[in-house]
Protein backbone atom coordinates (compact mmCIF):
# COMPACT_ATOMS: atom_id res chain seq x y z
CA UNK A 1 0.00 0.00 0.00
CA UNK A 2 0.93 3.63 -0.48
CA UNK A 3 0.57 5.12 3.03
CA UNK A 4 0.93 8.76 4.05
CA UNK A 5 1.32 9.51 7.75
CA UNK A 6 0.66 13.06 8.96
CA UNK A 7 2.43 13.85 12.22
CA UNK A 8 6.02 13.55 13.38
CA UNK A 9 5.23 12.75 17.01
CA UNK A 10 5.86 9.45 18.79
CA UNK A 11 2.82 7.71 17.26
CA UNK A 12 3.44 8.91 13.71
CA UNK A 13 7.11 7.92 13.87
CA UNK A 14 6.29 4.51 15.36
CA UNK A 15 3.66 3.68 12.73
CA UNK A 16 6.01 4.79 9.95
CA UNK A 17 8.74 2.51 11.30
CA UNK A 18 6.41 -0.50 11.55
CA UNK A 19 5.06 -0.23 8.02
CA UNK A 20 8.19 0.85 6.17
CA UNK A 21 9.30 -2.70 5.27
CA UNK A 22 6.00 -3.82 3.74
CA UNK A 23 4.53 -0.59 2.35
CA UNK A 24 5.53 2.60 0.56
CA UNK A 25 5.42 5.09 3.45
CA UNK A 26 5.70 8.87 3.37
CA UNK A 27 5.90 10.77 6.65
CA UNK A 28 4.55 14.34 6.60
CA UNK A 29 5.93 16.59 9.34
CA UNK A 30 5.16 20.11 10.55
CA UNK A 31 8.68 21.46 9.96
CA UNK A 32 11.27 21.26 7.19
CA UNK A 33 13.92 20.56 9.83
CA UNK A 34 12.36 17.29 11.02
CA UNK A 35 11.55 16.15 7.48
CA UNK A 36 15.12 16.78 6.35
CA UNK A 37 16.57 15.06 9.44
CA UNK A 38 14.60 11.86 8.86
CA UNK A 39 15.17 11.92 5.11
CA UNK A 40 18.92 12.28 5.67
CA UNK A 41 19.63 10.24 8.81
CA UNK A 42 16.73 7.79 9.03
CA UNK A 43 14.34 7.05 11.88
CA UNK A 44 15.85 5.44 14.99
CA UNK A 45 13.84 3.10 17.21
CA UNK A 46 15.09 1.95 20.63
CA UNK A 47 13.32 -1.06 22.13
CA UNK A 48 14.38 -3.66 24.73
CA UNK A 49 17.98 -2.45 24.59
CA UNK A 50 18.15 -2.75 20.81
CA UNK A 51 18.58 0.01 18.23
CA UNK A 52 17.01 -0.14 14.78
CA UNK A 53 17.04 2.41 11.96
CA UNK A 54 14.50 2.73 9.15
CA UNK A 55 14.93 4.99 6.14
CA UNK A 56 11.62 6.65 5.32
CA UNK A 57 10.60 9.29 2.82
CA UNK A 58 9.77 12.42 4.76
CA UNK A 59 8.30 15.76 3.65
CA UNK A 60 6.85 18.91 5.17
CA UNK A 61 3.06 18.92 5.15
CA UNK A 62 1.65 21.30 2.56
CA UNK A 63 4.54 21.12 0.12
CA UNK A 64 2.38 19.11 -2.31
CA UNK A 65 -1.14 17.61 -2.41
CA UNK A 66 -1.76 14.43 -0.46
CA UNK A 67 -2.39 11.27 -2.48
CA UNK A 68 -2.28 7.76 -1.01
CA UNK A 69 -4.21 4.52 -0.56
CA UNK A 70 -4.35 5.27 3.17
CA UNK A 71 -3.73 8.53 5.04
CA UNK A 72 -3.05 8.24 8.77
CA UNK A 73 -3.58 11.40 10.81
CA UNK A 74 -1.47 11.27 13.98
CA UNK A 75 -1.49 14.89 15.15
CA UNK A 76 -2.69 16.20 18.50
CA UNK A 77 -6.24 17.41 18.96
CA UNK A 78 -5.30 21.09 18.98
CA UNK A 79 -3.56 20.71 15.59
CA UNK A 80 -6.46 18.98 13.84
CA UNK A 81 -7.93 22.14 12.31
CA UNK A 82 -4.53 22.95 10.80
CA UNK A 83 -4.58 19.80 8.65
CA UNK A 84 -8.27 19.70 7.72
CA UNK A 85 -7.70 21.76 4.56
CA UNK A 86 -5.07 19.30 3.34
CA UNK A 87 -7.34 16.35 4.13
CA UNK A 88 -10.43 17.79 2.45
CA UNK A 89 -8.58 17.97 -0.86
CA UNK A 90 -6.61 14.74 -0.42
CA UNK A 91 -7.00 11.91 -2.91
CA UNK A 92 -7.23 8.78 -0.81
CA UNK A 93 -9.28 5.60 -0.53
CA UNK A 94 -9.20 5.67 3.30
CA UNK A 95 -8.25 7.94 6.20
CA UNK A 96 -7.40 6.79 9.73
CA UNK A 97 -7.44 9.17 12.71
CA UNK A 98 -5.41 8.52 15.86
CA UNK A 99 -6.17 11.17 18.49
CA UNK A 100 -6.67 11.25 22.25
CA UNK A 101 -10.13 12.31 23.37
CA UNK A 102 -13.23 12.71 21.24
CA UNK A 103 -13.19 16.39 20.33
CA UNK A 104 -12.22 15.72 16.71
CA UNK A 105 -15.21 13.58 15.72
CA UNK A 106 -17.31 16.56 14.60
CA UNK A 107 -14.55 17.50 12.15
CA UNK A 108 -14.67 14.08 10.47
CA UNK A 109 -18.26 14.64 9.35
CA UNK A 110 -17.01 17.43 7.07
CA UNK A 111 -14.70 15.19 5.06
CA UNK A 112 -15.91 13.81 1.68
CA UNK A 113 -14.07 10.49 1.85
CA UNK A 114 -16.07 7.26 1.86
CA UNK A 115 -13.86 5.23 4.23
CA UNK A 116 -12.89 6.87 7.52
CA UNK A 117 -11.48 5.00 10.52
CA UNK A 118 -10.69 5.99 14.08
CA UNK A 119 -8.06 4.22 16.14
CA UNK A 120 -6.66 4.17 19.66
CA UNK A 121 -3.12 3.14 20.50
CA UNK A 122 -2.10 1.04 23.51
CA UNK A 123 1.66 1.13 22.93
CA UNK A 124 4.00 2.95 25.31
CA UNK A 125 5.96 5.38 23.13
CA UNK A 126 8.27 8.31 23.79
CA UNK A 127 9.71 10.70 21.22
CA UNK A 128 13.36 11.38 22.11
CA UNK A 129 13.97 13.87 19.30
CA UNK A 130 12.73 14.56 15.78
CA UNK A 131 14.14 11.31 14.43
CA UNK A 132 14.23 8.98 17.44
CA UNK A 133 11.62 7.14 19.51
CA UNK A 134 11.76 4.82 22.51
CA UNK A 135 9.28 1.92 22.65
CA UNK A 136 8.58 1.24 26.34
CA UNK A 137 5.65 -1.13 25.95
CA UNK A 138 4.25 -2.84 22.85
CA UNK A 139 0.56 -3.78 22.90
CA UNK A 140 -2.01 -3.22 20.11
CA UNK A 141 -3.96 -0.65 18.10
CA UNK A 142 -7.75 -0.70 18.26
CA UNK A 143 -9.52 0.38 15.07
CA UNK A 144 -13.12 0.83 13.95
CA UNK A 145 -15.11 2.45 11.16
CA UNK A 146 -16.40 5.99 11.54
CA UNK A 147 -17.76 5.81 8.00
CA UNK A 148 -17.65 3.08 5.40
CA UNK A 149 -14.60 0.96 6.18
CA UNK A 150 -14.47 -2.74 7.02
CA UNK A 151 -12.48 -5.09 9.22
CA UNK A 152 -10.53 -6.32 6.21
CA UNK A 153 -8.23 -3.31 6.46
CA UNK A 154 -6.48 -5.09 9.33
CA UNK A 155 -5.19 -7.75 6.93
CA UNK A 156 -3.21 -5.05 5.14
CA UNK A 157 -1.93 -3.25 8.23
CA UNK A 158 -0.89 -5.67 10.93
CA UNK A 159 2.21 -7.82 11.31
CA UNK A 160 3.21 -10.39 13.93
CA UNK A 161 4.70 -7.65 16.11
CA UNK A 162 2.32 -4.82 15.17
CA UNK A 163 -1.19 -5.97 16.09
CA UNK A 164 -4.58 -4.43 15.33
CA UNK A 165 -7.96 -5.28 16.87
CA UNK A 166 -11.27 -4.49 15.17
CA UNK A 167 -13.91 -2.70 17.23
CA UNK A 168 -17.51 -2.57 16.05
CA UNK A 169 -18.46 0.27 18.38
CA UNK A 170 -15.98 3.14 18.00
CA UNK A 171 -17.78 5.17 20.66
CA UNK A 172 -17.06 2.49 23.27
CA UNK A 173 -13.50 2.14 21.97
CA UNK A 174 -12.86 5.84 22.37
CA UNK A 175 -14.45 6.01 25.81
CA UNK A 176 -12.10 3.23 26.98
CA UNK A 177 -9.11 5.14 25.62
CA UNK A 178 -10.44 8.38 27.04
CA UNK A 179 -10.61 6.81 30.52
CA UNK A 180 -6.91 6.00 30.40
CA UNK A 181 -6.01 9.40 28.99
CA UNK A 182 -8.22 11.36 31.41
CA UNK A 183 -6.76 9.59 34.44
CA UNK A 184 -3.19 8.58 33.62
CA UNK A 185 -2.10 11.63 31.60
CA UNK A 186 -3.04 14.43 34.04
CA UNK A 187 -2.01 12.45 37.13
CA UNK A 188 1.45 11.69 35.77
CA UNK A 189 1.78 15.30 34.60
CA UNK A 190 0.84 16.72 38.00
CA UNK A 191 2.88 14.21 40.02
CA UNK A 192 5.84 14.19 37.60
CA UNK A 193 6.00 10.37 37.52
CA UNK A 194 6.02 7.64 34.90
CA UNK A 195 2.90 5.57 34.23
CA UNK A 196 3.89 2.63 36.42
CA UNK A 197 3.94 4.74 39.56
CA UNK A 198 0.17 5.25 39.36
CA UNK A 199 -0.30 1.51 39.84
CA UNK A 200 2.61 0.93 42.23
CA UNK A 201 2.11 3.79 44.70
CA UNK A 202 -0.89 3.14 46.96
CA UNK A 203 -1.64 6.85 47.40
CA UNK A 204 -1.54 7.58 43.67
CA UNK A 205 -3.58 4.42 43.07
CA UNK A 206 -6.23 5.68 45.49
CA UNK A 207 -6.55 8.95 43.54
CA UNK A 208 -6.86 6.97 40.28
CA UNK A 209 -9.65 4.86 41.81
CA UNK A 210 -11.59 7.98 42.85
CA UNK A 211 -11.20 9.39 39.34
CA UNK A 212 -12.47 6.11 37.88
CA UNK A 213 -15.58 6.47 40.04
CA UNK A 214 -16.23 9.94 38.62
CA UNK A 215 -15.49 8.77 35.06
CA UNK A 216 -17.93 5.84 35.34
CA UNK A 217 -20.64 8.21 36.59
CA UNK A 218 -20.35 10.18 33.33
CA UNK A 219 -19.68 7.33 30.89
CA UNK A 220 -21.51 4.30 32.26
CA UNK A 221 -20.48 1.97 29.42
CA UNK A 222 -18.12 0.30 31.90
CA UNK A 223 -18.33 0.12 35.69
CA UNK A 224 -15.97 1.86 38.10
CA UNK A 225 -14.25 -1.47 38.81
CA UNK A 226 -13.80 -2.32 35.12
CA UNK A 227 -12.46 1.16 34.39
CA UNK A 228 -10.04 0.94 37.32
CA UNK A 229 -8.77 -2.49 36.23
CA UNK A 230 -8.24 -1.20 32.68
CA UNK A 231 -6.33 1.87 33.90
CA UNK A 232 -4.09 -0.22 36.17
CA UNK A 233 -3.42 -2.69 33.35
CA UNK A 234 -2.30 0.09 31.01
CA UNK A 235 -0.11 1.60 33.75
CA UNK A 236 1.59 -1.75 34.28
CA UNK A 237 2.02 -2.49 30.57
CA UNK A 238 3.56 0.95 29.99
CA UNK A 239 5.25 1.26 33.39
CA UNK A 240 8.39 2.96 32.08
CA UNK A 241 6.55 5.27 29.74
CA UNK A 242 6.34 9.02 30.26
CA UNK A 243 2.88 10.22 29.26
CA UNK A 244 2.56 12.75 26.47
CA UNK A 245 0.96 15.24 28.85
CA UNK A 246 3.84 14.98 31.31
CA UNK A 247 6.25 15.53 28.44
CA UNK A 248 4.25 18.56 27.26
CA UNK A 249 4.23 20.07 30.76
CA UNK A 250 7.96 19.45 31.18
CA UNK A 251 8.69 21.19 27.91
CA UNK A 252 6.33 24.11 28.53
CA UNK A 253 3.94 23.23 25.70
CA UNK A 254 0.18 23.28 25.21
CA UNK A 255 -1.45 20.03 26.41
CA UNK A 256 -4.49 18.06 25.26
CA UNK A 257 -6.32 18.63 28.55
CA UNK A 258 -9.22 20.43 26.81
CA UNK A 259 -9.80 17.57 24.37
CA UNK A 260 -9.67 14.95 27.13
CA UNK A 261 -10.71 16.18 30.58
CA UNK A 262 -12.37 19.31 29.21
CA UNK A 263 -14.72 17.16 27.10
CA UNK A 264 -15.44 14.95 30.12
CA UNK A 265 -16.31 17.94 32.35
CA UNK A 266 -18.67 19.34 29.70
CA UNK A 267 -20.36 15.95 29.33
CA UNK A 268 -20.73 15.77 33.12
CA UNK A 269 -22.44 19.16 33.09
CA UNK A 270 -24.91 17.98 30.43
CA UNK A 271 -25.77 14.87 32.47
CA UNK A 272 -25.83 16.62 35.84
CA UNK A 273 -22.91 14.55 37.17
CA UNK A 274 -20.64 15.78 39.98
CA UNK A 275 -16.92 15.50 39.04
CA UNK A 276 -14.96 17.72 41.48
CA UNK A 277 -11.67 15.81 41.08
CA UNK A 278 -11.70 16.13 37.30
CA UNK A 279 -12.52 19.83 37.58
CA UNK A 280 -9.57 20.26 39.92
CA UNK A 281 -7.03 18.45 37.74
CA UNK A 282 -8.34 20.28 34.66
CA UNK A 283 -7.58 23.64 36.27
CA UNK A 284 -4.24 22.43 37.64
CA UNK A 285 -3.04 21.33 34.18
CA UNK A 286 -4.40 24.50 32.53
CA UNK A 287 -2.40 26.48 35.08
CA UNK A 288 0.78 24.66 34.03
CA UNK A 289 0.32 25.10 30.29
CA UNK A 290 2.92 27.21 28.51
CA UNK A 291 4.91 27.74 31.72
CA UNK A 292 8.73 27.65 31.52
CA UNK A 293 10.05 24.08 30.98
CA UNK A 294 10.57 22.03 34.14
CA UNK A 295 14.09 21.09 35.14
CA UNK A 296 14.76 17.34 35.09
CA UNK A 297 15.33 15.60 38.42
* pLDDT tens string 90-130: 999 999 999 988 878 888 999 999 999 999 998 989 899 99
Distance CA 295, CA 297 (A): 7
Instruction: Look at the chain and count its residues.
Output: 297
Backbone angles phi, psi at 2, to 5 degrees: -95, 110
Distance CA 89, CA 65 (A): 8
What is residue 105's predicted lDDT score, i.e. its pLDDT? 85
Show which residues are catalytic. Answer: 177
Cα 13–chain centre separation: 12
Report whether 84 contacts 143 (CB < 8 A).
no
The residues near 233 (Cβ < 8 Å, ≥ 6 apart) are: none
Cα 66–chain centre separation: 22
What is residue 294's predicted lDDT score, i.e. its pLDDT? 62
Q: What is the pLDDT of residues 109-118, one digit of tens each?
A: 999 999 999 9
**Which pTM does this prediction carry?**
0.88
Distance CA 124, CA 112 (A): 33
Distance CA 146, CA 116 (A): 5
Identify the structural domains of the chain with CATH numbers, from first to last: 2-168 (3.40.50.720), 172-286 (1.10.1040.10)
Q: What is the pLDDT of residues 198-229, one digit of tens each?
A: 999 999 999 999 999 999 999 988 899 999 99
pLDDT exceeds 80 at position 67: yes
Q: What is the DSSP string of 220-258?
A: TTS-HHHHHHHHHHHHHHTTTPPPHHHHHHHTT---SHI
Higher pLDDT, 106 or 1: 1
From start to end of the chain, where are the E strands? 2-6, 24-29, 43-47, 50-54, 57-60, 67-73, 91-98, 115-121, 124-129, 132-137, 140-147, 163-166
Look at 25-29, 69-73, 174-178 and tell me which has the smallest mean pLDDT: 174-178
Name the DSSP letter for residue 86: H
Mean pLDDT of the chain: 93
**CA 135-139-145 angle, 5° bins:** 115
The residues near 240 (Cβ < 8 Å, ≥ 6 apart) are: 124, 136, 137, 194, 195, 196
Mean pLDDT on 165-183 = 93
For residue 230, give Cα distances in angstroms to 80, 171, 223, 236, 267: 28, 17, 11, 10, 21
Distance CA 223, CA 205 (A): 17
Q: How confident is the model at residue 238 (pLDDT cuts 50, 70, 90)?
A: confident
Amino acid sequence: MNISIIGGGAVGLFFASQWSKDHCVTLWTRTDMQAEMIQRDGLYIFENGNENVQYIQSKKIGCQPLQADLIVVAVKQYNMKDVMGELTNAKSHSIMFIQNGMGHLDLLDKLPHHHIYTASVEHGLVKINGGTIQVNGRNKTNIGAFRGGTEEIIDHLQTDSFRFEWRENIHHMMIEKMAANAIINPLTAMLNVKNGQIAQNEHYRSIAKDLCREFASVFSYKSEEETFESVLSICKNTAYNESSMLKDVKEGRLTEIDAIVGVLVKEAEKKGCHVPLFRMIYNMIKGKENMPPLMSN
